[in-house]
Amino acid sequence: MMKIKFIFDLDGTLTKEESLPRIAKYFHIEQDIEALTEATIQGNVPFEESFQQRVHLLCHLPVEEVQEILAAMPVYDSIRAFIRQHQAMCAIATSNLYCWIEKLAAGFGCKVHASEAKLEQGQVTGVKTILSKLEVVQQYQQEGCYVIFIGDGNNDVEALEQADIGIAVSITHPAAPKAVKAAAHHATTEAELNTLLKKYLAKAAMLS
């Protein structure tokens, strides 16, 4: 079988909500986070600047409690089932902090690439590294993989352009215009995304 790798963004692609606004809502500090998140998705605020600001607003929260909040976040069940069935072919690439999304991501059963936090006494004190999704795509391509990247935000644009096939998704909220432009496909429903995933899985089988 052709060596294929499906790389999924997490927030808004696999989940039915954005995680940082969910955390903020739980702790009643949602107004600033929601505005920053929407501006970032649409590319109106540089991602790294926005992410650092949002982490700063949330960094005093206990990591274990945040993990539990996100573990209960609703996801797209059919996409999760696809990933679970083809774990070796799939990976998640998220700019979110691994310490926050660890339990949520574990439910998909595949490799996870995420940003890393500075931790002290069970709380985030800052950001150690911010994941480059572009570099994740390039890494798998260098290993000989045919990469299909699936994402929705402005910070997914470089990865969508670099991937052999880019799929922009507008299933939780409208994908950033630049993401749609960078992608070969634009899925607007969960069913459409499923159809595209199965199409490229079948293509890999035919070329084996």
For residues 72 and 114, the answer to whether their CB atoms sit within 8 Å is no
Ranked by mean pLDDT, the top range of 50-54, 142-146, 199-203 is 142-146
End-to-end CA distance of the chain: 4
Q: What is the pLDDT of residues 12-24, one digit of tens each?
A: 999 999 888 888 8
Please tell me the pTM assigned to this model: 0.89
Residues whose CB is less than 8 angstroms from the CB of residue 70 and which lie 6 or more positions away in sequence, other chains included? 19, 22, 23, 100, 101, 103, 104
Q: How confident is the model at residue 30 (pLDDT cuts 50, 70, 90)?
A: confident
Which two tokens mark 51? 């992410």
**Tens of pLDDT along 112-130?**
999 999 888 888 888 899 9
Number of domains in the chain: 1
CA neighbor of 150 nearest in space, from 172, 128, 127, 117: 172
CATH of the domain at 115: 3.40.50.1000
Residue 72's pLDDT is 95
Taking CA atoms, 110 is separated from 42, 49, 58, 69, in Å, by 28, 29, 27, 21
Say if residue 108's pLDDT is above 60. yes
- Taking only the tens place, the pLDDT of each residue in 156-178 is 999 999 999 999 999 999 999 99
Q: How many whole angstroms from its chain centre is CA 187?
A: 15
Supply the range of the domain harboring residue 137: 4-206
